[in-house]
Amino acid sequence: MAFQKDFLWGSATSSYQIEGAAYEDGRGMTVWEDFCSRPGKIMEGHDGDVACDHYHRYREDIALMAEMGIKAYRFSIAWSRILPQGTGKINEKGMAFYSNLVDELLSYDIVPLVTLFHWDLPYTLYQKGGWQNPESVGWFAEYASAVAKGLGDRVKHFITFNEPQCFIGLGHVTCEHAPGNKMSKRAVLEMAHNVLLAHGTAVQAIRSIVPDAKIGYAPTSTVPVPVSESKEDIEAARNAYFGFGADADNYVWSTSWWSDPVILGHYPEEGLRLFEESLPHIGQDDMKTICQPLDFYGQNIYHGYPVGSDGKGGCIREKRKAGYPRTAIGWAVVPESLYWGPKFLYERYHLPIIITENGLSCHDWVSADQKVHDPARIDFMYRYLWELNRASREGVEVAGYCAWSFMDNFEWAKGYTERFGMVYVDYQTQKRIPKDSAYWYRDLIRSGGALLDGQKPEGF
């Protein structure tokens, strides 16, 4: 058993995906309400207006977390619930909701992991240019300060941004997510730079209010997995993870572009060369602002792809095996991504790693025995966590794991057609049913990870 005694066994959700109460108690409109109102954007015309009704049912949900033995709950704050217009006067009812949520978690000794931004930008700020507006840096700092003042006496773990690659890339490059406004590469890189500056100013704001805070950042990545453990293939995978390859148009998904400035204090040289004609203005002190000391590095990892050496110092993306395992949403099942990803990231950034999201969508339903059996999820979690445990055994400092997700929820453009939760939600009645995986995860947590001891799972 390699995980440390204070390992954060957690689960994760996000505000727009579960809270509902979209128009209650002074909450302001977000880009997602607008996006969901556009015909054809969300599968089956779904929206997050009610979602899992967590806003009214959080006590029931937290009691379920306690039954599962969850030690840490990663949730996001809805910016527009705290500041309905994005800036200005604080909405006391919104702050009270999160204050009560935190108190309820602490009553069960569950550590709150607060994410400040999980994609739901206040609509009024989008009208002012959103992340392309340089003032967005100050907007976010004001919001971070409000949260720190309201919750920092009890919350000690903060994450600034969740998956900036997604809310910028899916929102402004592919446009499959809100706000769905396609922008030029120059504009997208301007937004990315402002997001990084906003991260740095938020860290500064939180530390000025909560000196003992532990602060991190949670980008995402798809991990290049070496086809063998030869030095050449491992180096090829490492280079593929942090490099840009031949596809310069894939810039928005780059691991190093989003993390090198935050942790190392500079943009990657390869990216600067590739994007030279589209680079935003980078101020003299911008990197000092962006690169603030962090306590941990969050990473969302769901899958990977095979990479091998080309024999000339480069890498080749290999084809997947015919009939490779896939989740219900169609993502490849690649357990080794939770070994190689943390390993490569720890080598480069030297920060304790929390896997802030990992999980899968399954074809779940209530069986005739009125239970929800999800053996694929149990197998998936076992295989991925076995690989994470392997990384920990080999010296990677892994501080926690947050299963995505605690319960079924609104899966963005997929609406309610995908089920990622360990707890089943009947959206008509809002009844919660813990799936078999919830009980398996409970037993894993009770064992302190000992259920992962043994030989590598075979079968893939």
Mind listing the pLDDT tens digit for each residue in 174-184?
A: 999 999 999 99
What pLDDT, on the 0 to 100 scale, is given for residue 72?
98
Q: Is 302 annotated as a binding residue?
A: yes
**Any domain includes 458:** no
Res 454: pLDDT: 83
At residue 248, the pLDDT reads 56
Cα-based torsion angle of the residue sequence 209, 212, 218, 224 in order, rounded to the nearest 10 degrees: 150
Return d(Cα 136, Cα 87) in angstroms, integer.
Answer: 10
- Digit-coded pLDDT (tens) for 321-331: 999 999 999 99
Work out the pLDDT band at 134, boundaries 50, 70, 90: very high
For residue range 239-280, what is the model confidence (pLDDT) as tens digits? Answer: 999 998 755 567 789 999 999 999 999 999 999 999 999 999
60-85 pLDDT per residue, tens: 999 999 999 999 999 999 999 999 99
Active-site choice (19, 33, 163, 190): 163
Beta-carbon contacts of 407 under 8 Å, excluding residues fewer than 6 positions away, are: 13, 18, 52, 61, 421, 422, 423, 424, 425, 432
- Side-chain-side CA neighbours of 285 within 13 Å: the count stands at 3
Q: Provide φ and ψ at 16, rounded to 5°.
A: -65, -30
Please, which pLDDT band fits residue 2 given cuts at 50, 70 and 90?
confident
Domain assignment of residue 196, yes or no: yes
pLDDT tens per residue, range 393-423: 999 999 999 999 999 999 999 999 999 999 9
- Which pLDDT score, from 0 to 100, does residue 122 have? 98
Tell whether omega for the bond before 179 is within 30 degrees of 0, i.e. cis.
yes
| pLDDT (mean) for 341-366 | 98
For residue 457, tell me if it sits in a domain.
Answer: no
Q: Does residue 146 register a pLDDT over 70?
A: yes
- pLDDT above 70 coverage of the chain, percent: 99
* Nearest alpha-carbon partner for 418 in 339, 370, 364: 364
Which contacts of 261-269 are long-range, i.e. CB under 8 A and separated by 24 or more positions? 261/196, 261/287, 261/290, 261/291, 262/196, 262/199, 262/200, 262/217, 262/290, 262/291, 262/292, 262/294, 263/291, 263/294, 263/297, 263/349, 263/351, 264/291, 264/349, 265/290, 265/291, 268/242, 268/244
Q: At what angle do helices 375-393 and 436-446 cross, to 10 degrees?
A: 30
Residue 118 assigned to a binding site: yes
Mean pLDDT, rounded, for 179-203:
98
394 is catalytic: no
162 appears as a binding residue in the annotation: yes
The whole-chain average pLDDT of the chain stands at 96
Q: Is residue 230 part of a domain?
A: yes
> What is residue 1's predicted lDDT score, i.e. its pLDDT?
58
- Is position 404 annotated in a ligand binding site? yes
- Quick one: tokens of 208? 């000025």
User: Which of 290, 296, 302, 284 minimizes the C-alpha distance to 265?
Assistant: 290
Average pLDDT over residues 113-123: 98
Q: Is residue 2 part of a domain?
A: no
Q: Tell whether 456 is covered by a domain.
A: no
Is pLDDT above 80 for 386?
Answer: yes
pLDDT band at residue 364, thresholds of 50, 70 and 90?
A: very high
Residue 93 placed within a domain: yes
**What is the total count of domains within the chain?**
1
Taking the C-alpha atoms of residue 200 and residue 28, their distance in angstroms, rounded to an integer, is 25
Range of the domain at 252: 8-450
Q: 411 a known binding residue? A: yes
Q: For 149-167, how does the pLDDT look when each residue is reduced to its tens digit (9 = 90+)?
A: 999 999 999 999 999 999 9
CB atoms within 10 A of CB 265: 12
- Which CATH number is 224's domain given? 3.20.20.80
Residues 268-279: tens digit of each pLDDT: 999 999 999 999
According to the model, what pLDDT value does residue 272 have?
95
Are β-strands 111-117 and 72-76 bridged in parallel, bridged antiparallel, or unpaired?
parallel
Residue 458: what pLDDT?
A: 85
Task: Check 19, 357, 387, 418 and give the catalytic one.
Answer: 357
> What is the model's pLDDT at position 246?
58
CA distance to 46, 64, 82, 360, 385, per residue, from 366 (Å) = 21, 18, 37, 18, 26
Please confirm, yes or no, whether 190 is among the known catalytic residues. no
